[in-house]
Structure 1
């Protein structure tokens, strides 16, 4: 491992290999945070290896402009998987984002804790990712379409995605969405979401249902554990 490769990021305690995490329509940095997620069976880490990263990037490909062009699920066998250093860079950024989100939301959920130790370490990881694969503006224009701006880069799709998500992280925490960032406090949940509607309390309808069931159980079983 050379000096430019970050040390392997630790998986969250108790995290297990997972099916692809649910995509909730959140900003890309939040979707990356939520590759650590949980259900009634336990907590999952959806970025354990190169195959996990490739599947996650394909699932969000269309969210990039221009798209990464990684192909759909049928391309899995023909498109080279990301290398291990790429996986570690995404894991480092993911864990840094979770630390930043915990600071911003005053999140005290023990199962949601990030292995990144503090704010300074998280900020450093984001800034390294921003600088990893710089892009530049490029004019796209042909006779059949109006002129448009595109991103130019000499880097591969994984590197471009890493830096793009890091750039969007800066926008998230310094822009209007920062005030809406929330930790989901439904029973067992470890995800984050941006509260775009004042009545939204949970990251998903499933978490809302679990929270209502837990409240009902507590009302009828005072002093008992949640269902």
Structure 2
């Protein structure tokens, strides 16, 4: 399982010029995101999200973002939703309960034209929503309990709402684009003050 799946999951909330957008705002968005991550989530190409599944996944995402906010403290959390996140203890219980609702087991896939790949799949039958959420919760647990947690950051660039794992000592932002925007904003503030 990839701990980075949880970063992509939390990043379904994104900043756009003057507002925040949500890739999971409706069932079409949830369907598109699920299909884009079908391999990791164990979904078929015909996956279609229901309103209930979307609501349950969004609730889990908010809990994961609350745990990420705690992990980056005392640094500031993402500005996207830090004021609307559920309480830490509620979030922790939800993520743990979601992950344990569907036990996952490793499975080896070995395509004829490629190297073997390990995937985590439900150990037994499970409803689609529970299975998807268990994979996402387990990914967040893997990130938060692993060495990457020490490098987890909320991007400080103006308007950015993403969390990222710092990959090298000088990395300050989630992307080059955010770094450029932050430097431009700093330059503008400095020159405007004079």
TM-score range, shorter chain: 0.7 to 0.9
Question: What does 1:1-227 align with in structure 2 at a 5 Å threshold?
Answer: 27-62=4-39, 64=40, 68-71=42-45, 79-106=46-73, 107-108=76-77, 110-113=79-82, 115-137=84-106, 151=121, 152-222=123-193
1:111 is displaced (CA, Å) by 3.7
TM-score, with structure 2 as normaliser = 0.83
TM-score, with structure 1 as normaliser = 0.72
CA deviation string 1:169-212 (max 9, x = no partner): 11111110000000001001111101111121111122111101
Cα distance change on mapping 1:188 and 1:149 into 2, 3 Å: closer
Q: Is the 8 A contact 1:100 1:119 kept in 2?
A: yes
RCO higher in 1 or 2 (8 Å CA, sep ≥ 6)?
A: 2
* Alignment gaps of 5+ in structure 2: none
1:126 is displaced (CA, Å) by 0.3
CA deviation string 1:44-64 (max 9, x = no partner): 1111222111111122234x2
Q: Which runs of 4+ in 1 moved over 4 A?
A: 137-141, 145-150
Give the secondary structure class of the aligned counterpart of 1:97: helix
1:138 is displaced (CA, Å) by 5.5
Q: How many residue pairs were aligned? A: 189
Q: Is the 8 A contact 2:62 2:86 kept in 1?
A: no
Give the secondary structure class of the aligned counterpart of 1:112: coil
Structure with the greater alpha carbon radius of gyration: 1
Give the secondary structure class of the aligned counterpart of 2:37: helix
Moved more, 156-165 or 184-193: 156-165
**Aligned residues: CA RMSD:** 3.1
Q: Is the 8 A contact 2:151 2:167 kept in 1?
A: yes
Instruction: Say which structure is richer in helix.
Output: 2
